[in-house]
Amino acid sequence: MSIFKINKQSKKSSARTGVLKTNHGDIKTPFFMPIATYGAVKTQSSEDIQKLPSKILLSNTYHLYIRPGTEILTKAGGLHKFMNWNGLILTDSGGYQVYSLKGMRKISDDGVIFQSHLDGSKHKFTPEKVVDIQRVIGSDIMMMLDVCPSGNASKKEWVDALELTTKWASRAKNHFDKTNNLYGHNQIISPIVQGGTDLELRKKSADELMKLNCDMHAIGGLAVGEPKEEMIKVVKFLDGILPIEKPRYLMGVGTPSDLVESVMNGVDMFDCVLPTRNARNSQLFNFDGKINIRNSKYSDDMSPISNGEFCNMSKQYTKAYLHHLFKTNEILGLRIATEHNLKFYMHIMNEMRNKINNDTFESWAESFLARYNK
């Protein structure tokens, strides 16, 4: 049975709405996943995330493997129970985090030997072990181990990463098919298309990974240093290659304008650290771009943080008060800013779903991008 149903396809672009079906509930697409790297969205409780509203969050296999570890997660009965979360969880494979440990890891055909960033202890990830760890985590959607080079890597690095990612994907799918879930709910596994910004390599990667007949496909290796135009070019190119009937996940992207442009090019799923990370650095997203609430001009600004269109908490406090909280390092400031940014992202996703369903998405997108990018 298909996990994905398209409800509405735009006639003017590749934007579409649909439903992704899992044992932890159905979720409307396109959607954005708040980042819960260690099993928590910074400054937010599981109940807070539900009220954004969001039915899904993203955690990281590498970080959960390092701490708290598979023994604790097994004892807890998986990450859902450990963090008191009844919604969906997607876990990244940790491949990007391992790859970023330059000087502390060694990649071979078999897998990756790396040192923990915490204590320097040695560990090994293979495609099979990463599946096993995600079985213990109990994520609804698990990602295959891949190699993710930077956006300015050489073509040879892109080719090597692509070939190894494809080999590992075949092994991961084979192991996934031979193993069972541990907590009574079905799990989905996804390969990750690589190839840098080289369209020929992207096609090769996608063609090879589609042979695995997985339920969804992810686009990796973008938003890692390449120009934005190159990122959108790759997404638009893959829109014509990846199967229409399966959900598409653009990993690690991005700004509000990135989301809008990518939905226009057929992407269904997103995640990014920007709304939470920027919030902790005093940056707030809104319809006119973003502001830095630490700027002195907000010290006596008694207007609401926002008009309440998407975030009631932002309507309750003034810009001057939030400026004060950041200047005095009060934790409440981080909480208000984080909720503001996450709710702004959720509002945008909801607007896009509504506009696609009402056949007004393209005109709305044009207006939004003109205002946001001015």
Alpha-carbon distance 34 to 31, whole Å? Answer: 10
* Catalytic residue list contains 271: yes
Alpha-carbon distance 66 to 50, whole Å? Answer: 27
Q: Which helix (H) or strand (E) holds 25?
A: strand 25-29
* Catalytic residue list contains 239: no
The answer to whether the beta carbons of residues 19 and 26 sit under 8 Å apart is: yes
Among residues 183, 245, 239, 180, the alpha carbon closest in space to that of 214 is found at 245
Place of tokens 């950041």: 326
> How far is C-alpha 250 from the geometric centre of its chain's CA atoms?
7
Among the options 92, 140, 239, 258, which is catalytic? Answer: 92
Other Cβ atoms less than 10 A from the Cβ of 211: the count is: 12
Place of tokens 């090769």: 204
Alpha-carbon distance 134 to 83, whole Å? Answer: 16
Among the options 239, 258, 268, 271, which is catalytic? Answer: 271
Paired strand residues for 17: 8
Among residues 270, 261, 281, 263, the alpha carbon closest in space to that of 372 is found at 261
Among residues 132, 161, 142, 306, the alpha carbon closest in space to that of 222 is found at 161
What's the burial of 84, exposed, middle or buried (CB within 10 Å: 0-12/13-18/19+)?
exposed
Residue type, 166: T
Sign of CA dihedral 53, 305, 348, 206: negative
Catalytically annotated residues: 92, 271
